[in-house]
């Protein structure tokens, strides 16, 4: 049930997530070649506005899903900036680091009270280094940017989920297995359905 009596509709975290989403959506509309059709652009914009509206109303229930979409759009745009506009790789790496740290900290906002400052920094740096390594390795894979972005999101989901389990001291085979299965399914689907460029 949606609570409309809450006076504070948006906090800083929500505003930052919505800003990231809007930037990602603008870049997606700019780079996506299928969206040269005006009607299709309108459909994507309406879906984006519905996602923002749903996020504002449901807050914590939708923040993980919303962050996943933000990551997909952002990494899609980073890969397209590299391939289409020839942006330097070092600049894209810096943007990717800032994006990953921001999304990680925004997602773990609720469990920050159980983390000390140094632990949050260490977990953020570990996740950033792993994501940066994946970003760099996928630059040279001859698959389309959508597939690369999907793989980045899947790995972020797995790493973020495992770190969340570690923070909550709930790490065991039963809780880790779904993350491994999901990552293997996404990897297999991405590899088998991608358009491989020579």
The two three-digit tokens of residue 162, written as one number: 């495992």
SS3 state at 37? coil
**Which tens digit of pLDDT belongs to each residue from 127-183?**
889 989 999 999 988 888 888 898 898 888 888 888 878 777 788 888 888 888 888
Residue 195, pLDDT > 60, answer yes
Which helix (H) or strand (E) is 80 found in, with range?
helix 63-85
**Which tens digit of pLDDT belongs to each residue from 88-134?**
999 999 998 888 888 887 777 655 556 666 777 787 788 889 989 99
Residues in the chain: 198
101-122: burial string, b at 16+ Cβ within 10 Å, e else: bbbbebbbeeeeeeeeeeebee
* Neighbour tally for 48: CB within 10 Å: 19
> Which residue in 10, 16, 9, 8 sits closest to 104, CA to CA?
16
Alpha carbon distance 117, 127 (integer Å): 16
Q: Can you spell out the DSSP letters for 11-26? A: -HHHHHHHHHHHHHHH
Predicted TM-score (pTM) of the model is: 0.82
> Which residue in 35, 122, 124 sits closest to 73, CA to CA?
35
pLDDT class of 5 with cuts at 50, 70, 90: very low
Q: What is the pLDDT of residue 64?
A: 75
Could you tell me the sign of the dihedral formed by the alpha carbons of 190, 192, 195, 198, in that order? positive
């Amino acid at each position: 049930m949606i609570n409309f009596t809450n006076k504070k509709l948006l906090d800083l975290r929500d505003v930052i997530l919505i800003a990231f989403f809007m930037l990602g959506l603008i870049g997606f509309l700019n780079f996506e070649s299928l969206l040269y059709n005006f009607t299709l652009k309108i459909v994507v914009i309406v879906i984006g506005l519905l996602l923002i509206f749903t996020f504002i109303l449901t807050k914590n229930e939708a923040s993980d899903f919303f962050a996943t979409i933000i990551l997909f759009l952002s990494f899609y745009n980073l890969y397209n900036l590299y391939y289409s506009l020839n942006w330097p790789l070092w600049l894209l790496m810096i943007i990717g680091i800032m994006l990953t740290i921001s999304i990680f900290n925004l997602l773990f906002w609720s469990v920050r009270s159980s983390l000390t400052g140094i632990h949050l920094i260490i977990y953020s740096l570990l996740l950033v280094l792993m994501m940066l390594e994946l970003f760099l390795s996928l630059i040279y894979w001859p698959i389309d940017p959508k597939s690369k972005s999907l793989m980045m999101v899947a790995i972020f989901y797995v790493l973020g989920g495992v770190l969340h389990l570690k923070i909550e001291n709930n790490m065991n085979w039963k809780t880790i297995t779904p993350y491994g299965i999901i990552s293997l399914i996404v990897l297999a689907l991405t590899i088998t359905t991608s358009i491989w460029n020579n």
